[in-house]
Structure 1
Amino acid sequence: MILVRDEIAQLIAKAIRTAQKKGELPSFDLSEVPVTRARDETFGDYASPVCMTLARVARMAPLAIAQRVIARMPPAPFIGKVETAHPGFINISLAPQWLSQQVEVILTEGECFGQVDLGKGRSVQVEYISANPTGPLTVGSGRNGVLGDALANVLAAAGWRVQREYYINDTGTQIELFAASLYARYAQALGRDEPLPDGGYPGSYLVEMGHQLAQEYGDCFLTMERGQALAALREEGLKRMLASIQADAAALGIHFDNWKSERSLYEDGTYSLVFNRLSAEGWLVYRDGAVWFTEIPQRSSGEDRLIAEEQQTQAIAKNSQDKDNVVVRSDGRPTYFASDIAYVWDKLVTRGFDRAIYVWGADHQGHVPRMKAVTRALGIDPDRIEIILYQLVTLRRGGELVRMGKRTGEIITLREIVEEIGADATRFMLLTRAADSQMELDLTLAVQQSSENPVYYVQYGHARIASIFRYAQERGFSPEGGDVSLLTHPAEQALIRQMVRLPETVALCAETLSPHHLTHYAQELATAFHAFYKECRVISEDAKHAEIGRARMKLVQAAKIVLANTLRLIGVSAPESM
């Protein structure tokens, strides 16, 4: 399936160059021809504002440029009509005959329809969720997971070799607090008066885990030296929390290719390698006993190539460095930033991915330029890392706000949400807004069986098509021999117009790293199908209807393929009945 948008852009570019050769347009460089879906279908299917951007360099009115361009537009089988519109748009309508023939194309391509080859087999790693293994996954982690997983699906459909990874934060302050909190709950389960540590985890899940450990191990950990007991409980608790996280992700249809340990970056020498590299090249400065990253490399003579105290202070002030740029604390412990530096090296150098995509909460926004800067300092093109930031999720039930808080002990977990509204509704609803938009999940709406519930509305379209085929089979009616050229009814054409948009939607999602376009497309496709179903009878007892009926059977068969492919990219089931 061709990308019509790109084909139109090439035709317009060719027309501009032809007009220049003919002396109808002045000479100028043409860098890009933007083509978008027309906002108003009365103006056609596609529109290009390129003539308005060329007006200044051509020193001509945009409309005059557009008129000269369309006069030189080469013919193409998919183009039905090309027109200009004030103040200088080029509007393109698809050919009805070409649209009808796309039904056969879709039937031939089947599950492959919608795939494009933007990646050319290059590799990309998508790392998502990666929540601290110190508690159950929250609905915020669910949004992270849905965004990352749908994006991984889209990138795979766009020709990339994709690896899905969960980064395990299994070292540092939070994991030590988790171990100390678990020790307290375990001791309490055995009747000991052991307080939670300051800043510890108060959730009931640790109370339950403490009782489980007491039942399984008795007082085994209490007989150990405390440091040894904390280390053992850290590993035991980590193992159980990761199993819980893995189960919660799987319940949402998320499965990772790799689980990467933060601790392994220190154990395999990656951290030491990048630290020594940055230090040797002057990207690290030493101040107040700590080690800082600076965006201006400092070099001096001497074995360690360390800058003087005055130079260090000036470098830090000049670069507006803050505490988040600390790589090693004054007590010698590496920071989370140190791990991130080692991790980006591991992704792009050690494992050699062409791209690395991170999905982070919006509270990490300030860390993005820091990550770009340190990637550049490591000698890696910073454009090879891309970071998607997503906003928080608020929950409503029956119009009322549902409160949540991970560290309060009153946890509303992702598991509870999935159990209440189902995995399909959770995934679809969490993907209906752009990542950088605030998300409100209406738990009441998510279970409604009405057209107001988008996931129900889309899935019902697929189920309705399946029911048409069951009905046809009962009556011995087959699409075999159907002539798709008969599909000229406005509702038929409107449905096909939506169907052929899937490859471009996949390309748009992959190019912009914005998989939410899939749910919008799915709703528009379902709307077009329901409108067709209302306007056009597919199966009739009237023999005169048989010919168009077979053609429409092919159309709904193709629509079923496109709906199923779209839902699969979203990660939602395509039910045969509802």
Structure 2
Amino acid sequence: MNIFAEIRELILTTLEQMVTAGDLPDGLNLEPITTEPPRDPAHGDMATNAAMVLAKPAKMKPRDIADALAGKLAEDPRITSAEVAGPGFLNLRLAPTVWQGIAKTVLSEGTGFGRGSLGQGQKVNVEYVSANPTGPLHVGHTRGAVFGDALASLLDFAGYDVTREYYINDGGAQVDVLARSVYLRYLEAHGQEVAFPEGTYPGDYLIAVGEALKDKVGDDYLDKGEQYWLEDVRSFATEKMMDLIRSDLKALGVEMDVFYSEKSLYGTGRIEAALEDLKNKGLIYEGVLEPPKGKKPEDWEPREQTLFKSTEHGDDVDRPVMKSDGGWTYFAPDIAYHYDKVQRGFDQLIDVFGADHGGYVKRMKAAVSALSDGKVPLDIKLTQLVKLFKNGEPFKMSKRAGTFVTLRDVVDQVGPDVTRFVMLTRKNDAMLDFDFDKVLEQSRENPVFYVQYAHARVASVLRKAAEAGIATDDATLAAADLSLLNHESELGVLRKLAEWPRLVETAARTNEPHRVAFYLYELAGDLHGLWNKGNEVTSLRFIQDDAATSQAKIALARSTAIVIAAGLGILGVNPAEEMR
């Protein structure tokens, strides 16, 4: 039940009737018409832009359209008033029975309330994390992992067929560096003293890998040139690092459907096939690029390269796919990887990148546009940096990693639930401050506590009701006399619950799961406000002297807990039954 969609449908039907009656001209585009909560709740329950949108194409004054529309809408029993404001804004107030019915719907549908059909089963690939397999995940990867996972869950909730995917960057030179670093640890495991040259990975996490390599091959690689051991150690080290990464993701509650290896693109003809597809479309050519901006002419050595004509698909410049020495550029396997996604039949692609990949957005979108003939949209979401604090001071590096704070450092200190929720308290492209002390505070200033506390309060109400012998199963609560929920504070909570299906749809359309976290905080605030008023006004308390009244009040509380649980489920956070 999406009451906003229902009222919008009422408005569209009424406008069509006005067209039939000759009150409006034929051929108007009604698609841009919206119904949404007004910015100021004092103005009503809903606002529509219908008159403002139609005035110009109808060649009428918006106020005249609004006045005529308001009179007809007021005839519907769900609407108690339709008021025209300003030049033609239309504010609507709905009958209390509409809001009271929301609780019954939530109780009947459970955590499925708000699940939508927006996606209509479209196949969406969400690629996220995709860290180089050279070490444990750091805090930047953590934010990308949480964001991507929550987005995937949100899209699933909105009716899409979602595939969660991790692209293993195991085809580049950094994997050779990993192999050499593991070999040094292997020598250490044999009692040799080693020094880590600049550019290698000195973190303690490779000690166990070096020892495991010793257990596997014994002394076979001692005193041997890397031409003897490099390829084997590369594969061994990559596998061990991916085991570590999978373990880190599991600790955060993230499970992938697909792990796709970049290395599988090399020597298999897949890169060649993708570029052949582009060549057949006239998008691959031999040419010389202009010097990069900021380069002096004497610093620039023009050379002929194989180029992708990405400017034909919105990029700023054409991009090289093959170097002058015949080797692939970094971009070539990325094109092939996305070509594979298109070939797998996805209707939509989403990539979650760190903020340092901002320069990659246009070229990657151009590639997907070209490969799919513009039929498969690619949305690239950039996640900004996370600044860590503890005791008011910047939180420093992890000894285990050597150079950065790991995902495990964060999860071990505050737990996966807190980590995930806090990572979604800012929009993905905004900087995020993560204070280890504040995220564990039990106060309104800590959003994850505030939301979980609301759910725990409802759980405590249900326990007390059971002790009092009051039936609180969802079917019984749904059958309660919900007309008893008539105080403005109670109706306020119900109005907020009614926004949930619309919120899910909006968040899914914009690929913005942080909207769910914001909504849950507001909903929790409404419940806490009602709870606190119950301390002063006894009639607002959830448990009353008679069971019938109690069940109506508890129906409201339970409905709130159901929506909170559904929202937390999207974010990958467990709802709390009690706070300790």
How much does 1:257 deviate?
A: 1.0
From 327, 337, 342, the equivalent of 2:331 is 337
Higher deviation after alignment, 367-376 or 138-147? 367-376
Identify if the C-alpha distance between structure 1 residues 230 and 78 changes in structure 2 by more than 3 Å, giving closer, same or farther.
farther
- For 2:10, the equivalent position in structure 1 comes to 11
Residue aligned with 1:365, SS = helix
Q: How does 1:161-180 map to 2 (within 5 A)?
A: 161-180=161-180
Q: CA deviation at 1:77?
A: 5.4
Q: Is the 8 A contact 2:28 2:54 kept in 1?
A: no
Instruction: Indicate conservation of the 8 Å contact 2:346/2:376, yes or no.
Output: no
Distance apart, 1:565 and its partner CA: 1.0
Q: Is the 8 A contact 1:15 1:70 kept in 2?
A: no
Q: Deviations over 1:359-398 (max 9, x none)?
A: 1112222222211222232243265221111211111222
Displacement of 1:425 in angstroms is: 0.6
- The match for 1:158 is 158
Deviation at 1:211, TM superposition (A): 4.3
The answer for the alignment partner of 2:295 in structure 1 is none
The aligned amino acid for 2:154 is V
Assess, with a 3 A threshold, how the Cα gap between structure 1 residues 559 and 377 changes in structure 2: closer, same or farther.
closer
Q: Which has the larger displacement, 269-278 or 256-265?
A: 269-278
Decide which of 385, 388, 392 is 2:378's aligned counterpart: 385
Distance 1:574 1:129 in 2: 25
Deviations 1:194-241 (A, max 9, x none): 554553223332345334534654433225541231111111111111
Tell me, in whole angstroms, the C-alpha distance in 2 between the residues paired with 1:126 and 1:220.
42
Q: SS at the partner of 1:222? A: coil
Count of equivalent residues: 551
Report SS of the residue matched to 1:276.
Answer: helix
Deviation at 1:119, TM superposition (A): 1.2
SS of 2:310's equivalent?
A: coil
**TM-aligned CA deviation for residue 65 of structure 1:** 2.6
Opposite residue 284 of structure 1, the aligned amino acid is I
Q: Secondary structure at the match of 2:200?
A: coil
Q: Which amino acid aligns with 1:502?
A: W
**Corresponding residue of 2:292:** none
Correspondences of 1:93-492 after superposition (within 5 Å) = 93-192=93-192, 195-214=195-214, 217-222=217-222, 224-287=224-287, 288=303, 290-295=305-310, 321=317, 325-349=319-343, 351-381=344-374, 383-403=376-396, 409-479=402-472, 480=476, 482-492=480-490
What stretches of structure 1 of length at least 5 have no aligned partner?
Answer: 298-317
TM-score (norm 1): 0.89
State the Cα deviation string for residues 511-559 of structure 1 (Å, max 9, x = none): 110000111111111111112223311223x3xx433112112222222
Distance 1:258 1:76, change over 3 A: farther
Distance 1:139 1:319, change over 3 A: closer
2:78 and 2:399 map into 1 onto residues whose CA distance is 54
* Correspondence list, 1:552-571, <5 A: 552-571=553-572
AA matched with 1:148 = G
Pair 319,53 (structure 1): closer, same or farther in 2 beyond 3 Å:
closer
- Judge conservation of contact 2:32–2:53 (CA < 8 Å) in 1: no
Structure 1 residues 296, 39: closer, same or farther in 2, change over 3 A?
Answer: closer
Moved more, 175-184 or 199-208: 199-208
Write out per-residue CA displacement over residues 415-464 of structure 1, whole angstroms, 9 at most, x where no aligned residue. Answer: 10011111111000000111111111121111112222111111111111
- Shift in CA distance, 74/43, structure 1 to aligned 2, threshold 3 Å: closer
State percent identity of aligned pairs: 40
Deviates more, 1:67-76 or 1:495-504: 67-76
State the distance in 1 between where 2:471 and 2:176 align: 65
Query: Structure 1 78/260 Cα, relative in aligned 2: closer, same or farther at 3 Å?
Result: farther
Deviations 1:170-212 (A, max 9, x none): 1112212222222233234435465545532233323453345
Choose 21-30 or 146-155, whichever is displaced more: 21-30
Query: How far apart, in 2, do the equivalents of 1:95 and 1:389 lie?
Result: 43
Aligned counterpart in structure 2 of residue 537 of structure 1, from 534, 541, 545: 541
Is the Cα–Cα contact under 8 Å of residues 396 and 441 in structure 1 kept in the other structure? yes
Change (3 A) 1:319 1:10: closer
C-alpha RMSD over aligned residues: 2.5
Q: Is the partner of 1:180 in helix, strand or coil?
A: helix
Cα offset, 1:403, TM superposition: 4.2
Q: Equivalent residue for 1:549?
A: 550
Give 1:572 shift.
0.4
Q: Which moved more, 1:40-49 or 1:276-285?
A: 276-285
Secondary structure at 2:83's aligned position in 1? Answer: strand
Kindly tell me: are residues 430 and 128 of structure 1, through their superposed partners in 2, closer, same or farther at Cα, counting changes over 3 Å? same
User: Which stretch shifts more, 421-430 or 226-235?
Assistant: 226-235
Alpha-carbon distance, 1:414 to partner: 0.9
235-244 vs 25-34, which moves further: 25-34
SS, match of residue 221 in structure 2: helix
The answer to whether the 8 Å contact 2:118/2:505 transfers is: yes
When structure 1 is superposed on structure 2, of 18-27 and 464-473 the one drifting more is 18-27
CA spacing shift, 1:404–1:47, aligned 2, 3 Å: farther
CA distance in 2: counterparts of 1:527 and 1:193, whole angstroms: 59
Mark the CA change 1:192 to 1:123 in structure 2 (over 3 Å): closer, same or farther.
Answer: same
Counterpart in 2 of 1:495? Answer: 493
Match of 2:83 in 1: 83
Deviations 1:230-265 (A, max 9, x none): 111111111111111111111111111111111122
One-letter amino acid matched to 1:293: F
Alpha-carbon separation, structure 2, partners of 1:515 and 1:454: 15
- Cα distance in 1 between the residues matched to 2:128 and 2:260: 11
- Structure 2-normalised TM-score? 0.89
The code of the aligned residue for 1:171 comes to G
- The answer to whether the 8 A contact 1:103-1:555 is kept is yes
Which amino acid in the other structure matches residue 433 of structure 1? R
CA separation of 1:58 and 1:537: change in aligned 2, threshold 3 A: same
- The residue matched to 1:33 in structure 2 has which SS? coil
Q: Kindly tell me: are residues 78 and 444 of structure 1, through their superposed partners in 2, closer, same or farther at Cα, counting changes over 3 Å?
A: farther
In 1, the alpha carbon distance for the partners of 2:267 and 2:388 equals 41
**Per the alignment, in what secondary structure is the counterpart of residue 292 of structure 1?**
strand
Q: Does 1:573 align with 2:579?
A: no
Question: Matched residues in 2 for 1:73 and 1:576: separation?
Answer: 43
Assess, with a 3 A threshold, how the Cα gap between structure 1 residues 178 and 110 changes in structure 2: closer, same or farther. Answer: same
For each residue in 1:102-150, what CA deviation from the matched residue of structure 2 results, as whole angstroms up to 9, or x when unmatched? 2111111112112011111121111111111111111111111111111
